[in-house]
Amino acid sequence: MSDIIQLLPEHVANQIAAGEVIQRPSSAVKELLENAIDSGASDIKLIVKDAGRTLIQVIDNGCGMSETDARMCFERHSTSKIREANDIHSIRTMGFRGEAMASMVAIAHVELKSKLHDVELGTKIIIEGSELISQENCTSNNGTSISIKNLFFNVPARRKFLKSDNVELKHIFDEFYRVALANEDCSFSFYQNDKEVLNLPKSTVKQRVVGIFGAKYNEKLVPVSEETTLITISGFIGKPEFSKKTRGEQYFFVNNRFIKSPYLHHAVNNAFKDLISDGNHPSYFLFFDIDPKFIDVNIHPTKTEIKFEDEKSIYAIIRSCVKRALGIHNIVPTLDFDKDPAFSNIPKSSNEVRQPTIKVDSSYNPFQEKEPKVSSYSPSPKVKTDNWEKLFEDLPVPESQPQQTETISKSWSEDSETTESAIFQLNNEYIVSRIKSGMMIIHQQRAHERILYEYYLNSQNVEGQSQQMLFPKTISLNPSDIELVKEISDRLFNLGFRFDYLNKNSIVVLGSPLDIEMENLEGVFEELIEQYKTQSSLEKRDNFALSMAKSMCINKGRTLSITEMNSIIDNLFACQTPNATANRKPTLITLTLEEIAKKF
């Protein structure tokens, strides 16, 4: 039997390793921007074409590289940051493992120009698919310029699975924000297809947030500051009234490195408890400074996840300082025990104060008998089941599968009384109807959600009806979400939305679906974007419909008329799946006479 284990060729190993570090164009953007920061640059320019497919270029005015370093930076595990394993525990730079550049040259055409500040000529290197094409001296500005062209040109499978330009551009925006927010003392500019998208001069943290997300954030932010022996926290949180359905503006930075931490995110959410509505998310831009020996940043290829030595203490500190910031800035109500405001402004009367008098009915006899009053209560009216009216006259009954609808209708007609049924609302949450075998209880909110879900699911294939708005509504979004709106504009149009792009941070809504109330418009719009960001492409059509249904359905606690209850039942049984919501929660239950008898 011959030997079958062998070493992979270097270029194949690099392509496989590149899959861990460079997953999409935004991954290359992240690595290049972080390298520019590590070089000490004070001015960084990002240029992309076709959402990074054709070109990703980063130009900085950092320290530059010598001829030898320029060539060595493309070798695997070549780094200037560490010399031994223990150095990782004191690392404060963005990169240190020497994998990014080697990964990029394995799957793209790369051109590098770099020059030290104290020399006349720089170095130009061209590498394609890990193969050195040329290396020569050249004239160049101080610092480094790296161009990544034709990403994944030799890995067609990876290139094939890239998303649309708008989606990939959204991810590039996200990486750009993360680096720009953490380095406010550096100026940044961003160009997409030769057009300047963002220009951020050197500033404070608050000015940088406003520069990225719009001028409206000036009034939305509350400063946070806390210094302990374990960690120093600074930054800003958004006021509760500006919480949104989308999760976009949520940033943690540890030693200026962006991280993701569901555990610490829970700490912030806990501090906002009872201050924001369910389903809304607070904004935060929090910076943690901590001794590197208390954290481990080397647990993930992209270094966006880290381990804390004492995570529980940090959780408690974050929760406490966020609550304190909300309290200091009068976001959380406080009690003043020194003075009761109810007594602070008592009106003074110029009229003479008189003693009140009491009138007595001298003819009243408590022992005199009275005739009993006749009660005005009358039983609930009987409603014919074959005369139900529609709750939404403009809402067409969804087309259902003939066989399934016939089965449901037959079951209902056989189980119900053929003449009349009593119907009433229980606790403003359930619709109860008497049927032949016992009773049926319908969850009014879930039933209405099911009706709307099937309606909006079917309406995505045709142009939806829209109501023109007398006063157009401006909705603020960050630039990356604007790109997603462009991606889903056709679906939004089919749902009935009519809008135009106002600037890089906002859109103006000119028309909306018929059933949306104006005060709910922004929340519905944000929830649709959030659904698109969090769901896979196969689920997006369903989740658009589900998001609209959840936003538009009636809530528990709402009193319904007999007509409305009948209409919900009528529309529910016209659905393809009337007995459950899209999330498989039951919309109705039945209790037979036998089941009721067993309770006694």
Q: Which residues are within 8 A (CB) of 268 and not within 5 positions of it... i.e. 6 or more apart?
A: 237, 250, 282, 284, 286, 318, 319, 322
Q: Is the pLDDT of residue 44 over 70?
A: yes
Residue 68, SS3? helix
Residue 536 Cα distances to 164, 253, 361, 386, 532, angstroms? 13, 28, 78, 42, 8
pLDDT of residue 516: 76
Cβ burial of 335 (10 Å; 0-12, 13-18, 19+) is: exposed
- Side chain identity at residue 456, one-letter code: Y
Instruction: Quickly state the pLDDT bin for 353 (edges 50, 70, 90).
Output: low
Residue that is written with structure tokens 């790109």 in the block: 483
Does residue 48 contact residue 25 with C-beta atoms inside 8 Å?
A: yes
Cα within 13 Å of Cα(543), Cβ side: 15
Least confident of 1-10, 11-20, 240-249: 11-20
Instruction: Quickly state the pLDDT bin for 468 (edges 50, 70, 90).
Output: confident
Least confident of 265-269, 369-373, 423-427, 576-580: 369-373
How far apart, in whole angstroms, are the C-alpha atoms of residue 169 and residue 485? 12
Residues forming beta bridges with residue 443, ordered by sequence position: 430
pLDDT digits (tens, 9 = 90+) for 197-230: 899 999 999 999 999 988 888 888 999 999 999 9
Q: Is the pLDDT of residue 389 over 60?
A: no
Mean pLDDT of 573-590: 91
Q: String of b and e for 80-110 (b: at least 16 CB within 10 Å)?
A: eebeeeeeeeebebbbbbbbbbbbbbbbbbb
Least confident of 6-15, 445-454, 498-507: 6-15
DSSP 178-202: HHHHH-TTSEEEEEETTEEEEEE-S
Q: Is the pLDDT of residue 435 over 90?
A: no
Cα within 13 Å of Cα(492), Cβ side: 23
Helical packing angle, 165-182 and 25-38, nearest 10°: 20
How far apart, in whole angstroms, are the C-alpha atoms of residue 249 and residue 585? 32
Q: Is the pLDDT of residue 419 over 70?
A: no
Q: Is the pLDDT of residue 390 over 50?
A: no
Strands (E) across 193-256 are located at 195-200, 221-227, 232-238, 250-254
pLDDT of residue 354: 58
Strand 43-49, strand 187-192: pairing:
parallel
Residue 522, SS3? helix
Nearest CA among 65, 62, 91, 97 for reference residue 78 = 97
How far apart, in whole angstroms, are the C-alpha atoms of residue 524 and residue 521? 5
In percent, how much of the chain has pLDDT > 90?
A: 34
Strand 232-238, strand 221-227: pairing:
antiparallel
pLDDT digits (tens, 9 = 90+) for 70-122: 888 888 766 665 555 555 555 556 655 557 788 888 889 999 999 999 999 99
Does residue 314 contact residue 264 with C-beta atoms inside 8 Å?
A: yes
Residues forming beta bridges with residue 47, ordered by sequence position: 57, 191
Domains of the chain listed by start with CATH number: 10-202 (3.30.565.10), 207-328 (3.30.230.10), 381-600 (3.30.1370.100)
Instruction: Quickly state the pLDDT bin for 173 (edges 50, 70, 90).
Output: very high
Highest mean pLDDT among 80-84, 166-170, 423-427: 423-427
- Side chain identity at residue 393, one-letter code: E
Cβ burial of 158 (10 Å; 0-12, 13-18, 19+) is: middle
How far apart, in whole angstroms, are the C-alpha atoms of residue 285 and residue 306? 18
How far apart, in whole angstroms, are the C-alpha atoms of residue 353 and residue 535? 71
Instruction: Quickly state the pLDDT bin for 355 (edges 50, 70, 90).
Output: low
Q: Is the pLDDT of residue 472 over 80?
A: yes
How far apart, in whole angstroms, are the C-alpha atoms of residue 509 and residue 501? 9
pLDDT digits (tens, 9 = 90+) for 400-417: 344 444 444 444 445 444
Mean pLDDT of 173-189: 94
Instruction: Quickly state the pLDDT bin for 357 (edges 50, 70, 90).
Output: low
Helical packing angle, 479-487 and 165-182, nearest 10°: 170
Instruction: Quickly state the pLDDT bin for 55 (edges 50, 70, 90).
Output: very high
Helical packing angle, 311-328 and 262-271, nearest 10°: 30
How far apart, in whole angstroms, are the C-alpha atoms of residue 362 and residue 365? 8
How far apart, in whole angstroms, are the C-alpha atoms of residue 96 and residue 439? 69
pLDDT of residue 204: 94
Does residue 32 contact residue 56 with C-beta atoms inside 8 Å?
A: yes
Residue 251 Cα distances to 120, 219, 354, angstroms? 41, 18, 66
Residues forming beta bridges with residue 111, ordered by sequence position: 126, 147
Mean pLDDT of 367-382: 39
Q: String of b and e for 126-155 (b: at least 16 CB within 10 Å)?
A: bbbbbeeeeeeeeebebbbbbbbbbbbebb
How far apart, in whole angstroms, are the C-alpha atoms of residue 116 and residue 39? 11
Mean pLDDT of 471-487: 83
CA 394 to chain centre: 32
Instruction: Quickly state the pLDDT bin for 497 (edges 50, 70, 90).
Output: confident
Residue 144 Cα distances to 37, 39, 267, 401, angstroms? 11, 9, 40, 63
What is the pLDDT of the chain when averaged over all its residues? 79
